[in-house]
A and B are shown apart, each in its own frame.
Chain A
């Protein structure tokens, strides 16, 4: 499986390549757009530059709304290692920094710098490297990063990360395959700018020091193959090879296999098998960055499909909304029953959600198919297990099984069948007689699995924390109990050892406690008596104020008042008692009076009776 270097070199020199399993041969349709030179576009009034256009993290914004900026000026700074800056595509004013529709299948808005062009297109100061051969590796890598270069073949991997390589490198592979049908941007670039691509390769060779450079071009691009061969003919260790046309030969893993028969390990990188791969457009951009000092602000974009009256390739600035590209290619709305614009090729591209979707660093094509050209898929039918899909799968997967498990959400099984080795090339869905959108199912299953993993990671962390806490509490509890147990044992042991002494001790302790108690009682008594004495003293103070200590300053009047107050109090209480007594006496008096009255009345009545009798 792992062919050695010399074998590979020998076969390459004979243009004897290997093959990858599967693959399909969709109609090429390259001629539609590759017949004329790359055209330049007029300046746009407005550009929409997404802050993040690559795999990794976005940089920090350096400009503010209303700020005047120059062409090529940094809009973001790269701080994290995986971040790549973006630059102003032209001079003008930052109109807004806001969410704008993204160049992504979802179209979910992302932070973008919206620039109103001033029409001057004035460059910022450029700092080319005078002689890259005399510049250090790290300086060049920094320059590549500063120029905002990320892989232009499709994945958008930060180029400086890939270039900062310390592992042994045998093959530097330059990918000019462009296996997607319709697209011809790399084709035109190689035909028209082979020398600059070669410059970019030279710079990479200077940095990476590979043993051999392989420039791979698919055999449906004979002109590009020729120009690249001419551009590279003076170099001994540059080999331009003619790769048989088969989709997806341009996939990184597939091309490594075709050229070297080696397989990039699952979850690995090409460097693990001694290879590093760059797209031709990336090489062009590297030359621009080092030799001219220009950042990556424009790229070749193919406008193709029968929806365009004049398909072609154009130099489009990053941030150009696709509506102006539609205008430039003479979009013919009559060819489509409902507008459908594909960013990328027919196999892996995605339909955009808005005509304001901007061109980004990885956008290589706007495909506008006429209705009958790439018809909408019909409803999917049942899978008949014909395995046409597995026959064409370049990764030797079993797409019908993956489909089965993806659809039934048996995600573990899908993973077991290596779902994550699927490169989403779409060959399976291309041949499926039931027209099942297989890739769509795989993407969904992958997303579901990623979500599950995240959730699981979270819950695992929580679980670990919870378990650690429980364990800690348990440990503490046990330690505590152990301590008590040991103490109790020690007590018991010492008691058994010399019981008498212990009893004495207890007796002593009891005696101490008793003594303490008594002492306490005594103290309390003392305190009471002391209080009494104090009161007595107070009394004597009143009578003999002169005997008072000097510190206790109390005027005679005050004392007198106090004493009289206490006396008043006493009087009051006695008054109360007497009042009570008076009340009883009054009652008695009243009773006595009433009795007397009654007696008197009786007497008077008796007297009157006597008088009446006398009368």
Chain B
């Protein structure tokens, strides 16, 4: 008799595998990346290419060492996504070795040493970002002004040249590229406000700087909006749920609004906080990393809200101008606890360990 082939139920599958999910997230960053290139030049593209190559090589070598199915693992695109997220988080013209070290750290240490995909406690991109920020503070804070107000414009070739040699093809270094049309060195809007506040200016006074366009940094606003668009597409396609980005933006808004209403001179408005820096990227692309985020519905709300809270706290009182990475890492550590106390009530059960009402 011929052997019948056997399988376990269900025999049906909706055909969306990890690789597909990860790829969709990658695609969703495209609007933001395009906007970034438009306003800040081609640097980001070079960082992305370097990061992805480093990630694939690192992951591939480790898979070979662990004797796993290398090709199959690489095809899950998780390494590509982690590299991509790190690349869009660092200054576009940072030296090549920064992103290479960072990506290697993200993949080899944060992800694989914890057991590989699914086992890492921390968000690899954010852990690597923090490592880079602490190790190479100068390179990691050399953000460029938008091209429209930069004294020196740079081409794709200039960007490549700068990333690999530190100088453009015409001999300018990053410091020189940072100089705006008014002759002063430019900083990010968040930096600018922080410095101004330290010097005794008000937020409103700080916002008169050339890098600002109303309350928002020139270029930064549109980059944020482009990432927001990509994020909303992810929610629409059910790749991520609204809970984490929703609660994160809501709590950041609420907290910054309260502070703003208390003292508008000392504390920036909610819109300033949302559309400057990487709050949008953080809310839709970083904090939603499934592996290191909370898994229950209520847990996700708490997780997101807490990140939003920490971001505003650190931005206002911390030593760093932006705080997504720190906030995410802090909450990564709290995930097991959150998950434990937010278990949903099972069908037919009375409330037990969960805090359900």
Contact = CB atoms under 8 A, between A and B. Distances in A.
Interface stretch (A213-221, A373-381, A462-470): A373-381
Q: How large is the interface on B (under 10, 10 to 19, 20 to 34, 35 or more residues)?
A: 35 or more
Interface stretch (A92-100, A161-169, A333-341): A333-341
A439 B9 CA distance: 7
A480 interface: no
A266 B296 CA distance: 21
A382 B118 contact: yes
A439 B116 contact: no
A433 interface: yes
Interface string B332-355: 000000010001111111000000
A384 B291 contact: yes
B344 A342 contact: no
Contact of A434 (B2, B11, B17): B17
Interface string B1-25: 1111111111111101110110000
Given A339-B4, A385-B295, A435 B13 contact: yes
A175 interface: no
A440 B8 contact: yes
Contacts of A210: none
A103 B354 CA distance: 41
A387 interface: yes
Interface residues of A, number: 70
Interface in A419-456: 421, 424, 426-427, 429-435, 437, 439-440, 443
Contacts of B13: 374-375, 377, 429-430, 432, 435
Give the most central of B2, B20, B348: most A CB within 10 Å: B348
A49 to B, nearest CB: 21
Interface in B16-74: 16-18, 20-21, 72
Contacts of B347: 20-21, 253, 257, 263-264, 266, 394-396, 421
A350 B5 CA distance: 11
Given A398-B343, A433-B17, A353 B4 contact: yes
Contacts of B8: 105, 350, 437, 439-440, 443
B212 to A, nearest CB: 39
A421 B291 CA distance: 26
Interface in B86-119: 116-119
A117 to B, nearest CB: 23
Nearest to B290: A386
Most chain A CB within a 10 A radius of its CB, from B295, B346, B347: B347
Given A264-B348, A352-B4, A367-B11, 6 more contacts: A338-B3, A351-B6, A374-B13, A390-B344, A418-B346, A431-B14
Interface of A: 20-21, 24, 26, 105, 181, 253, 257, 263-266, 268, 338-342, 344, 346-355, 367, 369, 374-379, 381-387, 390-391, 394-398, 400-401, 417-418, 421, 424, 426-427, 429-435, 437, 439-440, 443
Interface of B: 1-14, 16-18, 20-21, 72, 76, 78, 116-119, 241, 290-291, 293, 295-296, 339, 343-349
